[in-house]
């Protein structure tokens, strides 16, 4: 292999974004609440504001998950305490 010039290694620019561990935890929580047996919690003959509980609960959980994801994503950084900050990474 021949290279006549060596460029400086650019190094991976610090990718700012939500922490992978935080996202994995959120995904796990989502899988849990949308499946057996937690789903049964909402299976009751109850009305909320005149609407059946099950669909209202599903949509509310869904919206909450979106809100949590939006919060984690738009905050711009990673959740504190989830990962030690490498030096100069959190400008």
Partner 1 sequence: MTPTLTAAPVLSAPLVVGVAIAYLAALFAVAAFADRRARQGRSVIGSAWIYALSLAVYCTAWTYFGSVGRAATTGVWFLPIYLGPMLAMVLAWVVVRKMVRIAHSYRITSIADFIAARYGKSPLVAAVVTLITVVGIVPYIALQLKAVSSGFAVLTGPAGAAGGAGAAWWQDGTLLVALALAVFTILFGTRHLDSAERHEGMVAAVAAESLVKLAAFLAVGAFVTWGVFDGMADIWARAQTLPGLHDLMRLGGAEGSASFGYAQWFSLTLLSMLSVVLLPRQFQMMVVECVDERHIRRAAWVFPAYLLAINIFVLPLALGGMVLFGAGSASQAETFVLTLPLSQGQTGLALFAFVGGLSAATGMLIVETIAVSTMVCNDLVMPTLLRLGAFRAQAGGDLTGLLLAIRRAAIVGVLLLGYLYFQVAGEAYALVSIGLISFAAVAQFAPALFGGMYWRGATRLGALGGLLGGFLVWAWTLMLPSVAKSGWIGDAFLTHGPFGIAALAPERLFGLAALDNLSHSLFWSLLANVSLYVGLSLWRAPSGREASQALLFVDVFARGRSAADPIFWRGRARPDALMALARRLIGPEAAAQIFAAHAHTAGVADPTADARLVDAVERRIAGAVGAASARVLVAAVAEEEPLGTADVMEILDEASQLRVYARALEEKSRSLEAASAELSDANAQLRTLDELKDDFMSSVTHELRTPLTAIRALSELMVDAPDMEEAQREEFLRIIVAESERLSRLVDQVLDMAKIESGHAEWHAVDVDLAAVVRDAVTATRALAQARGAEIELAAPSTVPPLKADPDRLTQVVLNLISNAAKFVPATGGRIAVQVSADADGVEVRVADNGPGVPDEDRDTIFEKFRQGGDALTRPPGTGLGLPISRRIVDHFGGTMWLEQRQGSGACFAFRLPYRPKKMEETP
Total Cβ atoms within 10 A of residue 78: 20
- Least Cβ distance, residue 84 to partner 1 (angstroms): 18
Residue placing its CB nearer to partner 1 in the complex, 17 or 85: 17
Give the span between the Cα atoms of 18 and 46, in whole angstroms.
Answer: 37
Give the binding site for partner 1 (CB under 8 A). Answer: 1-12, 15, 17-18, 20, 23-24, 26-27, 30-31, 34-36, 39-40, 43, 45, 47, 49-52, 54-55, 58-59, 62-63, 65-66, 69-70, 73-74
- Least Cβ distance, residue 33 to partner 1 (angstroms): 10
Label residue 73 exposed, middle or buried (CB < 10 Å: 0-12, 13-18, 19+): exposed
Give the span between the Cα atoms of 29 and 62, in whole angstroms.
Answer: 11
Residue placing its CB nearer to partner 1 in the complex, 10 or 91: 10
Q: To which residue do tokens 């005149």 refer? A: 50
Residue placing its CB nearer to partner 1 in the complex, 28 or 85: 28
């Amino acid at each position: 292999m021949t290279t006549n010039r060596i460029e400086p290694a650019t190094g991976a620019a610090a990718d700012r974004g939500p922490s992978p561990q935080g996202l994995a935890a959120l995904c796990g929580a989502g899988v849990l609440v949308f499946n057996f047996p937690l789903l049964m919690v909402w299976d009751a003959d109850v009305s909320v504001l005149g609407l059946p509980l099950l669909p209202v609960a599903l949509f509310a959980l869904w919206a909450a998950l979106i809100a949590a994801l939006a919060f984690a994503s738009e905050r711009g950084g990673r959740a504190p305490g989830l990962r030690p900050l490498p030096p100069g990474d959190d400008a």
